[in-house]
Each structure stands twice: as structure tokens, then as C-alpha cells.
Amino acid sequence: MQTTHGQSSDPQREKQLLEKLRSHPELLERFEAILDLTESPSGTADQIEEWLVAEVRRLGNKAMQAWAQSAEEQAAEDLRQKTPRARVRKKRP
């Protein structure tokens, strides 16, 4: 099956992407905002470009936050496995 952009549609790939997005609702929200902008007939090309750049930056920030949280959780788990008596706790502000 072909998409409008000439790339093959892969139902399994689409399913995996949807599952990943469901596990990261903050990223799903950013992708929706980007898609909304690409489908928006209002605004000039310069305005749309400015808005898209801002949304991509927000997407990058959210992706980095998700990655950092995952990395922190993995580091804590690694520490628990290496040193069972160690206590992992968050820093106090």
C-alpha cells in the first residue's frame, strides 16, 4: 500500500508507533500540534515556519525530559542491583 508521499504503509510499523506515542502522551501532544499546523490554511509561510520551529523545539524538550527520566530510572535500578542496601531517593530542593 502506498501513502501520498510515496512511502509504503506498514500496519505493524504504524501500530508500534501508536503504542510508543500512547506511552508518551506529552510527545503525542506535540506531534498533534505539529500536524495541526501543517494542515492549517491560515497564516503566512513565515508565520507557519515560526510556529513549526517553536513546536519542534517543544517536541525536542519533551523528548529530552522523557529520556532523562528513563535514564534516571535505569541508573537507580542498576544501583539497586549492584548495591541492594543502597537507598535511592530524590534530592530535596
Q: What's the pLDDT score for residue 8?
A: 64
pLDDT tens digits, one per residue of 8-53 = 689 999 999 999 999 999 999 999 999 999 888 888 999 999 999 9
The contacts found for 55-64 with CB under 8 angstroms, 24 or more apart, are 55/30, 58/30, 58/33, 59/27, 59/30, 59/31, 59/34, 62/24, 62/26, 62/27, 62/30, 63/27
Q: Where are the domains of the chain?
A: 11-82
